[in-house]
Amino acid sequence: MSPADLAALRGSLAGAVIAPADSGYDVARRCYNALIDRRPAAIARCFNDEDVAAAFAFAREYGLEVAVRGGGHNPSGHCVCDDGLVIDLTLMRRVEVDAERRIARSQGGATWLDFDTATQAAGLATPGGVVGTTGVAGLTFGGGIGHLTAQHGLTCDNLLAAEVVTPAGDVVRAGPDGDEELLWGLRGGGGNFGVATRLEFRLHPVDRVLGGRLTYVGDEVGEALRVYRDVAVAASDEFSCSALMATDDELRPVLLVFPCYTGAETEPEELRALRSAPGLAVDGVQAQSFVQQQHLINPPYGDERSYWKGHFVRELPDDLIDALLARIRTLRLPAGQVLIESLHGAPKRVDPGGAAAGFRSAAFNLSAMGGWLDPSYDEEGIQWTRDTAAAMAPWSSSGGGYINYMQADEPIERVRAAFGDEKFQRLQALKARYDPHNVLRRNQNIPPLD
């Protein structure tokens, strides 16, 4: 892009433009997944709706591919593209809280750290992601699973309204006082319809929780995972609980369990059962603030090379637990994990017709997550992840995966299966209305209906 073209883009924005010759370029093009190394022609740091519309117009005029960046966490690296224009929302991170009406209004580039900081000041929360640097909008549009899922549903179930700038530059309101179909699509259908500059969420009173981490180590990890499974499927709506199977540095199996209990008891029966499971090495569960709970998992940004793949499953039978443990035992480095997210509780009670998210009937979301530092391990790490996901496949509830965790090489059939044919077609019709030329295709894509 010529200096004159860049000057034109700079002149059309209230925000900033970062080009390859600028000093912040390498930081600004970096995303969470260090496997992704792309060099956009320019990064438009938008400041408001008008900037987003101007960036779309510029991309159209110059025939540039568009990528949209929120928190930069999507493992596919869709937030950055070679030679194209990045619509970067990192200047738009304000979160306002209406404590009386229990509503939060978040700008389109806010992270969960921004969101929780603002809402917890009023003793309120919405079920969000478990890592503070993840983008609020990106996570919500893919569904959203976290420490309050059993209590209050998927993140997208708590999205009340949004304002979206379409690729044509129009500002559209999604919600009961705007386009209700667009709100339905944003609740799980991904970043396919426009750039959201404002999102409104329902908030819930959440102060202290009984939470933290239980660590099980060694040969009894399989048995501990069976106890976790039994606890999760029978748990009350006040007890969210996810688990992570991995290895320690000596390649012994490790199971981490992350309960988050919001009820009144000092030791609910679910926690008692988990505490008595074999192999418990460290009991880090205590009464703590929800903010502390949200800081339990704090991986460094942009260091790891990540490759993820998984399946929603209707159940977690012993055979599947054995298969997962066998996969963990094949690791040659501590470079892989299996995340087990329970979907019990509120996600099952929400009107399934209210959101595009198509996976709430599953019992668990299972994800093989390869993560390593050494580039020479790329091939092995990717293969380990694929083989581990293949071991889950016989129990898959739909054949589809969680779009928030999908790599860019997933075929469209996996995206379609994540929603089911009927919802996918409905999303395609919505896409045809708001993005008929598929400008927003660098995502878990829903092509417009012809």
Ligand X SMILES: Cc1cc2nc3c(=O)[nH]c(=O)nc-3n(C[C@H](O)[C@H](O)[C@H](O)COP(=O)(O)OP(=O)(O)OC[C@H]3O[C@@H](n4cnc5c(N)ncnc54)[C@H](O)[C@@H]3O)c2cc1C
- The residues of the shown chain that bind ligand X, judged by CB under 6 A, are 32, 68-75, 78-79, 89, 108, 129-131, 134-135, 137-139, 141-146, 190-191, 195-196, 299, 404-405, 443
- Pairing type for strands 42-45 and 66-69 reads unpaired
Of the two residues 48 and 265, which places its CB atom closer to ligand X in the complex? 48
Of the two residues 222 and 405, which places its CB atom closer to ligand X in the complex? 405
* Least distance CB 270 / ligand X (angstroms): 20
Q: Nearest-5° angle of CA 40, CA 46, CA 49?
A: 130
* Least distance CB 267 / ligand X (angstroms): 26
Give dist(CA 356, CA 415) in Å, integer: 12
Q: 95 near 107, Cβ under 8 Å? A: yes
* Least distance CB 69 / ligand X (angstroms): 4
Instruction: Find, among 112, 95, 43, 60, the residue nearest to 440 by Cα.
Output: 60
Measure Cα distances from 317 to 156, 278, 338 in Å. Answer: 29, 18, 15
Give dist(CA 417, CA 210) in Å, integer: 36
CA Rg, the chain, in Å? 21
* Least distance CB 307 / ligand X (angstroms): 12
* Least distance CB 428 / ligand X (angstroms): 16
Of the two residues 388 and 445, which places its CB atom closer to ligand X in the complex? 445
Counting Cβ atoms within 10 Å, is residue 249 exposed (0-12), middle (13-18) or buried (19+)? exposed
Of the two residues 298 and 330, which places its CB atom closer to ligand X in the complex? 298
Give dist(CA 194, CA 52) in Å, integer: 10
Alpha carbon of residue 90 to chain centroid: 17
Question: Count of alpha carbons within 13 Å of 11, Cβ hemisphere only?
Answer: 6
Of the two residues 185 and 253, which places its CB atom closer to ligand X in the complex? 185
Of the two residues 40 and 135, which places its CB atom closer to ligand X in the complex? 135
The H-assigned helical ranges of 128-250 are 136-142, 149-152, 180-186, 221-234
* Least distance CB 178 / ligand X (angstroms): 16
List all residues 6 or more positions away from 110 whose beta carbon is below 8 Å from its beta carbon.
92, 93, 94, 95, 135, 136, 137
Of the two residues 195 and 340, which places its CB atom closer to ligand X in the complex? 195
* Least distance CB 73 / ligand X (angstroms): 3
Of the two residues 165 and 277, which places its CB atom closer to ligand X in the complex? 165
* Least distance CB 322 / ligand X (angstroms): 27
Helix axes 421-434, 412-419, angle to 10 degrees: 110
Strands (E), 133-279: 159-165, 171-174, 195-202, 204-205, 208-217, 239-247, 253-261
Of the two residues 46 and 277, which places its CB atom closer to ligand X in the complex? 46
* Least distance CB 427 / ligand X (angstroms): 14
Question: Count of alpha carbons within 13 Å of 272, Cβ hemisphere only?
Answer: 5
